[in-house]
Structure 1
């Protein structure tokens, strides 16, 4: 039997946790179920992640980082407003192409909100920071700090709202139309700075 490195095993546990949460919810995401989904001994899971909270936070970090590569494709010669609008569109498209990731992200956030509000606040802060960094990089730093913070928070709020509504209605055409409306709102806000 080949030995698996700690980093590879860590990623296996993250992917298994995403799958288990998407299928069974956070409350039923037991470490035993996660280890089974990762085809790993339970002891290995506890070796890599000392607590379930550590595992859940690693999953959330992964969910924040996964779509980041899709944000690197801003239209050539686009204004900051067009670029940020396109970033929102790409985020929505990426998560709708990976619905189990969107489900897991919502499940984890709401579970933390109920059970660990400090972690929920930390998750939100990390999301804002990641969004700010992506926007700053994509727009070559043309926005000041106040504008960057305001726009980043709006993008996150619009993104979360769009995906939550889509989770409820499941209509891709409606989501596309609502995303375009949100993108226009982002363009107008960014242009005002």
Structure 2
């Protein structure tokens, strides 16, 4: 029998943990269930990981890496509105492609905020850092104020997370596709007004003639 490298086994356990967390929640994500999902035995899991906490740490890295991959995969040679739209669609597609990833992500963040505080925040912080960087690169040719970048990042994240909650709740792909278009149109409308406002210059005061 071919020996499976430890690195590959760890990837298998990470993928299995995502599926188990999505199906059973954090409390139900036992090492036995994760091992069974990975088609391995519990002894192998403990050979690869000293504890379930260590495995979950790699799951967090997987989640943040997935967001980073989607965000950094966006074309940097574009405009700020185009980059924001591309990232929003990329994240929504990621959620749509994998309900398990979506459910596990929300479960992990909520659990981490309850148990470890900062770790749950770290998932969002790292995603936001990558998002801001991508938006700043897109706006390089036509710079905007840092607070505008922050606002765009917040709106993109809010629309994506709202989409994810609806997708997890109803699980209807046709409806979700329609909601993607609604979210994109909402972002378009907001961006048009917000970016235009940053470019607007104060009207020059008309000169008055002295008597």
Residue 34 of structure 1, CA deviation = 0.7
Indicate if the aligned counterparts of 1:64 and 1:130 stay in contact, CA closer than 8 A: no
Q: Which residue does 2:59 correspond to in 1?
A: 59
1:1-193 → structure 2 map (5 Å cutoff) = 1-66=1-66, 68-71=68-71, 72-74=73-75, 78-140=78-140, 142=143, 145-170=146-171, 171-184=175-188, 185-186=190-191, 188-190=193-195, 192-193=197-198
Indicate if the aligned counterparts of 1:82 and 1:187 stay in contact, CA closer than 8 A: no
**Any stretches of 5+ residues in structure 2 without a counterpart?**
199-211
- What is the SS of the residue equivalent to 1:84? helix
CA distance in 1, matches of 2:45, 2:140: 41
Question: What's the TM-score, normalizing by structure 2?
Answer: 0.75
Q: Greater CA deviation, 20-29 or 129-138?
A: 129-138
Question: What's the TM-score, normalizing by structure 1?
Answer: 0.81
Residue 143 of structure 1, CA deviation = 5.2
Residue 23 of structure 1, CA deviation = 2.0
CA distance in 1, matches of 2:140, 2:45: 41
CA RMSD of aligned residues (A): 2.7
Who wins on radius of gyration, i.e. which is larger? Answer: 2
Indicate if the aligned counterparts of 1:64 and 1:127 stay in contact, CA closer than 8 A: yes
Indicate if the aligned counterparts of 1:31 and 1:52 stay in contact, CA closer than 8 A: yes
Residue 115 of structure 1, CA deviation = 2.7
**Any stretches of 5+ residues in structure 1 without a counterpart?**
none
Q: Greater CA deviation, 49-58 or 144-153?
A: 144-153
- What is the SS of the residue equivalent to 2:39? coil
Question: What whole-Å deviation, never above 9, does each CA across 1:39-88 have from its counterpart, x for those lacking one?
Answer: 22323323333332332232232123235444424397x42112212211
Indicate if the aligned counterparts of 2:95 and 2:101 stay in contact, CA closer than 8 A: yes
Residue 4 of structure 1, CA deviation = 2.0
Indicate if the aligned counterparts of 1:162 and 1:178 stay in contact, CA closer than 8 A: no
Change (3 A) 1:190 1:169: farther
